[in-house]
Structure 1
Amino acid sequence: LMRPLQGCPSRGVVVGTVTLCLAAGWALQTPGGVSLVVPQPNINATVAQNILLSVEYSCRGVATIEWKHVSSWGTTSIVEWRSDNYVNISTVYKDRVTTFENGSIQLRNVGMRDAGYYFVTVMDEHGTNAYGTIIVNVYEIIYEDLHFVAVLFAFLAAVSAILICFMWLCNKSLHLFQKKTTHKLTASTTEEIELETIEC
Structure 2
Amino acid sequence: MAEKVPQKTDPRRWETPLFFSQAFFLTTTDHAGNPHLEPVTRLFPLADEPPLLGLVLSEGTLAHRHLAKTREFVVNLAPTGLALAFWRSGEPAYTGLDRIGRLGLTLEPSRKVAPPRVAECPANLECRVTEKKPLPGATLYVAEIVAVELDRGISWGTPRERFKALAPLLWLREDGEYYCEPKLPHRAR
User: Does TM, scored on the shorter chain, surpass 0.5?
Assistant: no
Structure with more helix by fraction: 1
Q: Greater share of strand residues, 1 or 2?
A: 2
The alignment's TM-score, normalised by the length of structure 1, stands at 0.20
The structure whose Rg is larger is 1
